[in-house]
Copies of this chain bind each other. A is one copy, B any other.
Amino acid sequence: MQKNSPDVAFRLEQELRRGVLMLAVLSQLRKDQYGYSLRQLLDAKGMAIEEGTLYPLLRRMEEQGLLHSEWKIEDGPPRRYYRRSRDGEKIYRGLATQWRGLVATVEGLMEESK
């Protein structure tokens, strides 16, 4: 093993989850959610995401038109709430379908590798 084994495995696992974060985040934005709470929610469901990742991701998806956001100051500090846009709904559904196809494909590949 030329490279540090724990690091390699760790990096590969990170890479494995990488493209899924976006889908995970989108999945929870049917209704208004703000970043901090969204992060806690995802963490509780087994999908931890760094804040340095989540906030740029949210900003990016809004720029791409997938999300709407608005500031609210009710109780506690100011919060930025996000929610899927109409286009975001369509894209989310498309991605969900793509994901399921991907899962099936990989499942087939791994089955035959025994």
Would you list the 10 A-B pairs with minimal beta carbon distance, nearest first?
A: A1-B65, A15-B19, A18-B19, A27-B113, A46-B105, A27-B109, A16-B19, A8-B64, A3-B64, A27-B110
With A45-B109, A65-B3 as contacts: A94 and B18 at CB distance below 8 Å: no
Main secondary structure of the interface of A (DSSP, over half): helix
Beta-carbon nearest neighbor of A98 in chain B: B13
For A, the interface residue count at a CB cutoff of 8 angstroms equals 48
Asked if residues A95 and B19 are in contact (CB atoms below 8 Å), the reply is: no
A65 lies within 8 A of B8 (CB): yes
A96 within 8 A of B: yes
A9 x B45 contact (CB < 8 A): no
* Residues of B close to A102: CB separation below 8 A: 16-17, 20
Q: Does A108 contact B (CB under 8 A)?
A: yes
Q: What are 20 pairs between A and B in contact, CB < 8 Å?
A: A1-B64, A1-B65, A9-B91, A9-B94, A15-B18, A16-B19, A16-B23, A16-B95, A16-B99, A16-B102, A23-B110, A24-B105, A24-B106, A27-B110, A28-B112, A30-B114, A45-B108, A46-B105, A46-B108, A47-B109
